[in-house]
Amino acid sequence: MAVMKTRDFIAISKQLLPSLPGMVVHNGMMLAASNDAVLRGICFEGSSFDAGSFYVWSFGMQLYVPADGINFNLGVRLRMESGAERWHQAEDQLIVKLSNAVRIQAVPMLRQLETAAGVVELTRAAASVASGNPHLHRELAFALAKAGENEAALGELEVLSRRLDRQVPWQNEIARSSEALHQCLIADPEGVPALLKQWVAENVHRLGLNGVLQV
C-alpha cells in the first residue's frame, strides 16, 4: 500500500463534510469557513508506523498570534473506540467511525473555540498541563488580550518574559511579539484590537487562507 498523500486525506475529508456543516476542504484539512480570528478545523497526519496509518487532529489556532505555519498547540488527537490514536485507511466502516469521533470528540471543542472566553479557557488548561511550553503561555496572554482581560494578559506576558532566553532564536521570536503586545497594552490599550487584527491579516496571508477565511 502506498503512503497516504494529501489527495487521500482530501477524499476522506469530502466524505466527512456532512458531519461538519460550515466547513470546507483546504489542503487536506477541514477548516471552518468563518470570519473568526481563530482557525478551527480537522487535520490529518500521516504515520511512519505503516503506509496506511494516520492520525486525526481537532485543533484551534489563534490567528492573532504571529506564526510561520499552522500548529496544533491547541489540538487533540481523535481516538478510536478502542482508545487508539492511530487510524488505518483499511479500517472497516472508516468514515462512519471517523464521523462518530468527530461528533463526540471534536465538535464540542470546535464550538468552544467560537468564543473568546472559550479560547481562554482551553488555552489556560493546555498551558497548565504543558507549563514549560512558552508557545502556549504566549497564546494564553494573547487570548486574554483578545478577550479584553488586559491586566491578566499583562501578568502572563511579564511571567513569560522572565522565562525566555533571547539568545535562542525561536524564543527571541516569541519575545518580540510578546513585547509588542505588552507595549501596546501599556501605552495604547485602545489600540490592542487593531494590533491583533493586523496580526490576523498577516497570518491569513502568510498561511494562504485568504480564500477560506474572511477576516
- Residue 89 inside a domain? The answer is yes
Q: Cα–Cα distance between 177 and 189 in angstroms, integer? A: 16
> Which residues are bridge partners to 32 per DSSP?
23
Quote the CA–CA distance of 59 and 106 in Å, as a whole number: 8
Give domain status of residue 73, yes or no: yes
C-alpha 43/C-alpha 41 separation (Å) is 7
Number of compact structural domains in the chain: 2
- For residues 188 and 127, membership in a common domain is answered with yes
The pLDDT tens digits of the residues spanning 116-128 come to: 999 999 999 999 9
Q: Is the pLDDT of residue 27 over 90?
A: no
Residues 103 and 47 in one domain: yes
Residue 213 falls within a domain, yes or no?
no
Give pLDDT tens digits for 101-111: 999 999 999 99
Q: What is the pLDDT of residues 151-169, one digit of tens each?
A: 999 999 999 999 999 999 9
- Judge whether residue 150 has pLDDT over 70: yes
pTM: 0.91
Q: What digits encode the pLDDT tens for the residues 66-90?
A: 999 999 999 999 999 999 999 999 8
Structure-block grid coordinates of residue 118? 472559550
Calculate what percentage of the chain has a pLDDT beyond 70. 97
**Does residue 139 share a domain with residue 99?**
no
Q: How many CB atoms are closer than 10 A to CB 2? A: 8
Asked if 86 and 54 touch (Cβ cutoff 8 Å), the reply is yes
Q: What is the domain range of residue 138?
A: 116-206
